[in-house]
Amino acid sequence: MEALPAVFLGLVQGVTEFLPVSSSGHLALFQQLFGIGEAALSYDLLLHFATMLATLVFFGKDVALLLCQWCRGLLSAESRTAEGWTFGWAVIAGTVLTGAIGLSLKPLVERAMTLPWAVGAGLLVTAAVLWYGSSLATDLCGRPVTPARGLVVGIVQGIAVLPGISRSGSTIVAGMKTGLSAPSAFRFSFLLSLPAIFGATLLEMKDLLQVPDWSSTLPAGWAAGTAAAFFSGLVSLAVLRRLVTRGKWRPFAAYCAFVGLLALALFPGR
């Protein structure tokens, strides 16, 4: 892969990983449209690490506070009234289901990534989910994050490994459907994504270490592409937070529907 396509894929990863338009779907379609070869495993790992780091930076204070509260709850029953106690178990519950579903769907995901029509169909599903999300209340007085709600969102996150289905959009809408406020659903969606992305990165790293001289597989411009993924990811998170709290889902729904239909028209049966 040349330098320019590598940087381009970094920008695509950073923007679409967080905005509710499906990063995996866009990467698959761009590779088909522009004849860009599939990113080397080493570069794919770096891009996912960059977006995970962007999430950690954006939610750094939340991660530190909630983790400390959960750890205190392990040591003292009196500390289990803090938000971090139930929040932590919600993340654990959701992560377990995400992992189970994601691993079981892995063969299907790998096949679907090579089928533009399947990606287009996934984007149409995302469009429907986002359109529905626009009808949900965005008030600031939602219910607390609990393990039961974590299970529901975890199931949705597991299904969202399918290309074309937006992880961020589907999990935020699922959280709001269970009674979370829009800001709370936004925060839980991305904090729940951290263990999943970290686990997937570890699995990729395991495969990568089996490749002799894996560093030579990195494309020219990999550093710029990784930086592009990180900084564009931070911007996308800030934009999405503002839009979610205002219930601005329909422009994304229309965009996903357009791209999905375009994919079906350009790649019928492929």
Q: What are the tens digits of pLDDT across the range 139-177?
A: 667 799 999 999 999 999 999 999 999 999 999 999 999
Integer Cα distance of 25 and 65 in angstroms: 34
Residue 24, CA distances (Å) to 18, 46, 48, 82, 184 in order:
11, 15, 11, 36, 25
Element at 168 (helix H, strand E): helix 167-177
Q: Which of 56, 25, 7 is nearest to 252 (CA)?
A: 25
Residue 193 in tokens: 């994504």
- What are the residue ranges in the chain where pLDDT is below 50? none
pLDDT on residue 164: 92
**Within 13 A of 146's CA, how many CA atoms are on the CB side?**
8
Q: What pLDDT is stored for residue 259 in this prediction? A: 93
pLDDT of residue 150: 97
Here the tokens at position 192 are 């729940």
Residues 6 or more apart from 206 whose CB is under 8 A from it?
A: none
- Burial class (CB within 10 angstroms; exposed 0-12, middle 13-18, buried 19+) of 228: buried
Q: What pLDDT does 202 receive?
A: 84
Q: Cα 1 from chain centroid? A: 24
Q: Is 250 exposed, middle or buried (0-12, 13-18, 19+ CB in 10 A)?
A: middle
Phi, psi of 55 (to 5 degrees): -65, -45
Q: Which of 126, 139, 217, 202 is nearest to 165 (CA)?
A: 126
25 is written with which tokens?
Answer: 């779907």
Whether the CB-CB separation of 50 and 230 falls below 8 Å is answered with yes
Q: How many Å apart are CA 138 and CA 246, to the nearest integer?
A: 7
Whole-structure pTM value = 0.91
What was the pLDDT predicted at 268? Answer: 75
Q: Residue 84: which of 146, 142, 176 has the closest Cα?
A: 146
Alpha-carbon 240 to chain mean position: 13
> What pLDDT score was predicted for residue 204?
77
